[in-house]
Structure 1
């Protein structure tokens, strides 16, 4: 049993702070082949998450602590929507439909999301990453 508590969030956050990417996953699923990919994702301000999409699965974020901004884009590379997630204001999470271009910006150190999407794990292909350049 692994309890999701402040101690675990602090451990994963510390790993994110020490990572050059300023983020760290803590998988809750047993393997990358699992039908449900469930993980904690600790994110620090300055982490770069490219605008991307998951064509074959929806994705759900539940913010356990911290503050993040989630942005949606259309195929013309235009930002179409944004929302700030902050448990202190009652904005806890977001469900991102399959195929939706999205990214996030970390607004507060120590932010941790519970992320859920269908498996098995599939790395993003070139066609699933959007460059604004």
Structure 2
């Protein structure tokens, strides 16, 4: 078993891939398989990436390792009901999003990276759905 060190070199590598991706984000899976019971990944994101309003049937945790993001939640009609700025420099490090909560995020600073955890196996999130919206 190899240890996976999460350091600045790894973050920089993922950030570089995010910057050159048409989606302006890049995942780096720490879990070995999409069927794993615990999905763990780093997600590097750049301003301008599109994160559609979506939800999961399980809770999800974001820990912001660097950068600045805004996490928004929505009601079933697509109205924003809450907004939280995550910024380690200001002491806001992460957020737990309850199961079945419609949410999205906005990247406020280049080089933003979150550590994301949710129960597996991987199931594609529901986008829009009854909201019928894309953000």
The match for 2:70 is: 69
The match for 1:100 is: 101
Q: State how many pairs are aligned.
A: 132
Query: Displacement of 1:124 after TM fit?
Result: 2.4
The match for 2:14 is: 12
The match for 1:21 is: 23
For residue 49 of structure 2, the aligned residue among 47, 50, 57 is 47
Structure 1: segments with no counterpart, 5+ residues? none
Change over 3 Å in CA distance of 1:51–1:32 after alignment to 2? same
Aligned partner of residue 48 in structure 2, secondary structure: coil
Aligned partner of residue 15 in structure 2, secondary structure: helix
The match for 2:92 is: 91
TM-score of the aligned structures, taking structure 1 as reference length: 0.95
RMSD (Å), alpha carbons: 1.5
TM-score of the aligned structures, taking structure 2 as reference length: 0.93
Deviation track 1:64-101 (CA, whole Å, cap 9, x = no partner) reads: 00000000000121100000000000000000000000
* CA contact 2:52–2:134 (8 Å) conserved in 1: no
Q: Which runs of 4+ in 1 moved over 3 A?
A: none
